[in-house]
Structure 1
């Protein structure tokens, strides 16, 4: 999907993610220079942060996504380190000021032990006091909007049909996607299946505390000046700060 991802995500709120990141940094009062974008995909957010003057490292488990990201950064003459790794086994990053993981990335970490491993690896990559910012779908959003619905988008050069079905547990989603991509002469068809799961906020809090984090902020839908309401939020932002070792 890497070759058509940016086309399909043309309306994604990348600028809002970047602005949100900078607002959190500003509110924290911390001097943030180094940021890791975990699950960076095609590098949209990473490249925009590099333009802001941050030293950025992009990490993703897809070689194809990283290839697109590297090409983007080269075209925009941005110096970004790209690393091909599974976030469950993240290593080689140390003493970072901040880490971000936006656009559903954490929802692809579906099992409790895997999520626990990711949080511990992120903590190991951050300096004491370092910030970890990520977002997830709310359980209500998954149940009410996504599962057991069909979505479609038809464009001249790429189209898709997306079936979303529920799983056995609340917050689980199975995505079956069929793409039709025009190559200049004909439409090529290919299919992908994705599995996501989201949890209630108290579960993320528990695992973050186990990994040595303190929750410093909860926000819904990019709104920073509105009291957080888990039931009314579609996209939940969790901000955590690495605590000193005891």
Structure 2
């Protein structure tokens, strides 16, 4: 667990904190004022969960990593909140309760392997939403995956950690493979290496809209890059605001 505490510290340093503020702002703009409960899919280390709680929402977070959820709970307690965090798979949401809103940010849906898994997730979200509820998510655009990410390389070298990120085109359409390496200094002064491979895939906007309609969502607005403007050909991130 000590390593995951070190990893969380580095993760939060590597992750642009301004992004969380932008996700929070986008959420607040598009949730009805009467929204009280928010279910955050793929909540990770809880950075957005705590921000949502600070805005007065009753927050429940789900993530597939129990280690990250432990860190999320610690982060919430340090901020003075007792939030509900659940370990689980976003493809299997049945029976988790009912909520006014569901969010899924940081292109987390792009980690699903195929459209069937995406459909299962949309079906589950529809089930746990209250009538009239809101589902907000973001994904990488096809332009970002096909034109920007391939051969992308980012290296950061700080006093107590180093971070290497290299991306390569995937084997299926609109897919990318990220190879990440972390070198993290522990309290004993020694560095520990952690390697991860992240495979992501996205789809044309019409594919997302078709799957949302199949799940039962009656309307979906699409915008881009944290704005309320329609996507352009070179938008990096698509946002969907869906109503049950």
**TM-score normalised to the size of structure 1?**
0.91
Mapping 1:201-212, distance limit 5 Å = 201-212=205-216
| Per-residue deviation, residues 126-146 of structure 1 (Å, max 9, x unmatched) | 011110000001010112211
Q: Name the stretch that deviates more: 148-157 or 52-61.
A: 148-157
Partner of 2:193: 189
Tell me the equivalent position of 1:23.
29
CA distance change for structure 1 residues 186 and 30 in 2, over 3 Å: closer, same or farther? closer
The CA deviation string for residues 181-209 of structure 1, in whole angstroms up to 9 with x for no partner, is 11242322221111111111100001110
Q: Residues 153-191 of structure 1: CA distance to partner in whole angstroms, max 9, x if unpaired? A: 111111111121111233201111121111242322221
Partner of 2:233: 231
Q: Aligned-pair distance for 1:94?
A: 2.7
CA contact (8 A) 1:230 1:236 kept: no
Q: What residue is the counterpart of 1:51 in the other structure? A: 54
User: Is the counterpart of residue 113 in structure 1 residue 119 in structure 2?
Assistant: no
Question: Given the alignment of the two structures, is residue 174 of structure 1 paired with residue 180 of structure 2, yes or no?
Answer: no
Residues 199-232 of structure 1, C-alpha deviations (whole Å, 9 max, x = no match): 11100001110000133311111112x3x12412
Does residue 93 (structure 1) correspond to residue 96 (structure 2)? The answer is yes
| Structure-1 residue corresponding to 2:242 | 240
Please list every run of at least 4 consecutive aligned residues from structure 1 whose deviation after the TM superposition is greater than 6 angstroms. none
Distance 1:49 1:130 in 2: 17
Corresponding position of 1:7: 13
How far apart, CA to CA, are the structure 2 residues paired with 1:232 and 1:196?
19
Alignment-derived partner of residue 218 in structure 1: 222
Report Cα offsets for 1:58-107 as digits up to 9, x if no partner: 00000111011000111111121100000011133333110000111111
Contact 2:73 2:82 survives alignment (8 Å): no
| Alpha-carbon distance in structure 1 between the residues aligned to 2:153 and 2:234 | 23
Report the TM-score when normalising by structure 2.
0.92
Q: C-alpha separation between the residues in 2 aligned to 1:171 and 1:61?
A: 24
Structure 1 residues not aligned, in runs of 5+ = none
What displacement does 1:110 show? 2.5
Shift of 1:30: 5.3
